[in-house]
Structure 1
C-alpha cells in the first residue's frame, strides 16, 4: 500500500483524507512501525477541518501528516456527497485500540502524553490491565508550556517508544507533534483527543446504538455540555460542504 497514491485519498478543504478502511490502515501503520519510520497520524473530524480553514499553522500541521484518517461520520458523509467515498469511518479511539492490540503481540513500547495527571496515570493502569504484554514506558500530563518542550522531548527520546499517543487540545495536539516529529523519531505519533478520559473511566464511550446511528458526538455532548461551542462546527461544516460541492469535486479531479 502506498499513501503517496492520490487515488487513495480524497481532499476536503485541502486536507488529504485516506480512503482506506480500518484493516488497511492498521496494516499500513503496523508495517511503518516495524520499519521504525517516524509517522504522524491525524484522526480528523469536521471540527478539525473547520479549525484548519481559519488557522494556517494548524492546517499545515495536518497537511504534513503522513496519514489523515476520516474520524467522524461528517467526513464520511462529505466524501460520499462529493462522489469520492471513503471505505468507512476510521475512529481514532478504535484505531488506537487496534494498534494497542497488535502492540501487545510485539511487546511494543508506549508513551502516553496528555490529559490531567491522574487521568493519564489511570489510563496507563487500565491499558496495562487490558494489554498486559504492552510496555508503557512513559506517562506525562499535557499541561506543560513551550519552555518545557525540550524536557518532554528528552524524556520521550530516552525511552524510545514505538507508539506515542498525545491527548491535548485541538490547537496544541497536531501542531506539537508536527513541530517535533523529526526530533522525537517515534515510529507512530497520534493525537487521541479525549481518549485517555474514556480509558481512565472519567467519560463513557457512546453505546453501540449511538455509534450505529452516527450520534457518538451527541452522546459526548450530553456528558460534556461545555463542548457545545465546538459542536457548532458540525452544522457549519455540512452547510459549507453543500455550498462548495462543485469546488470540492474540482479539487479531486
Structure 2
C-alpha cells in the first residue's frame, strides 16, 4: 500500500496534530484514503483522551502517530479557539461513522465491527445492516479477548479484507490496540468508536439535539453512566491545563 498521506490543516496540541477539517472535508479525505488503499488510524479525540496522553507515554504515542485525529470533544474545539487556532467545527465520532457508512453504502464497501459485548455487537450489526443494505458487513465480534488472542482476531479480520474497521473497546485499550496492529491489519480506515455500538443497539441513548448544541453530551452520558464520574473529572483539569500552557501547548514534543 501507498503510505503517502494527503496533507490537511491541523492545530498541534501537546504534540498531537488535530485536524481543522469540517465533517464534509473529513469524509472526503477518508473516502480518498479508502479508494487509494492508504492506511489510516482515525482517532475521535476528546479532553479525556488528551489527559490520558499527558499521563501515559504509550497512549501519547498512539495519538501522535495516528494519521487523522478529529476534534470530537467540545473541549478540544474550545481549546483550539482559545489558543488562536480554531478548527472549522466539531467532528463527532458517532456522526463521522454514519457519514462513512453512507458512502460505504453507495460504494458497497466492506465493514468489520469489533468490540463491546457479543449482545451489543450483534444487535448493532443487525440494525446497521437494515439501514445500510448495500454495505458488506463482513464480520462482527465482541471485544472481550486477551492479548494472547490478538493474532487470531487479526487473522480472522484479514481473511475478510474490510475497507473500514470500527473498534469499540475501553479508552485505555481502543487506540493503543489499533496503533499496535495497524500496519499488520493494513486496513484503509481503522477508527475507534467508543460507545457508538451501545447507542445503535439501544443500550444507551444519545443526548438530544438541544443538549448537543449546548455542548452537554458529556453530562447526558454521565446521567446514564454515573460510574464515569471519575473520568469526567479530567474535563476541568484539561481546561486548567490548557489555560496554564497557552503559550507552549503548540510546541512539538
Distance 1:3 1:169 in 2: 30
Distance 1:229 1:116 in 2: 23
Once superposed, which parts of structure 1, at least 4 consecutive aligned residues long, lie more than 3 Å away?
Answer: 2-5
Shift, 1:248, TM fit? 2.0
Q: Which residue of 1 aligns with 2:203?
A: 202
Shift, 1:244, TM fit? 1.0
Distance 2:37 2:106 in 1: 17
Matched, 1:229 2:214: no
- Match of 1:16, SS? strand
Q: Which residue of 2 aligns with 1:108?
A: 109
Distance 2:16 2:40 in 1: 17
- Match of 1:17, SS? strand
- Match of 2:249, SS? helix
| TM-score (norm. length: structure 2) | 0.96
- Match of 1:133, SS? coil
- Match of 1:245, SS? coil
Distance 1:146 1:157 in 2: 17
Which sections of structure 1, spanning at least 5 residues, go unmatched? none
Distance 1:185 1:156 in 2: 11
Contact 1:3–1:67 (CA<8 Å) still a contact in 2? no
Shift, 1:183, TM fit? 1.0
Shift, 1:3, TM fit? 4.7
Q: Which residue of 2 aligns with 1:244?
A: 245
Distance 2:238 2:183 in 1: 33
Aligned residues: 248
Shift, 1:172, TM fit? 0.9
Shift, 1:15, TM fit? 1.2
Q: Which residue of 2 aligns with 1:66?
A: 67
Shift, 1:175, TM fit? 0.8
Distance 1:38 1:181 in 2: 8
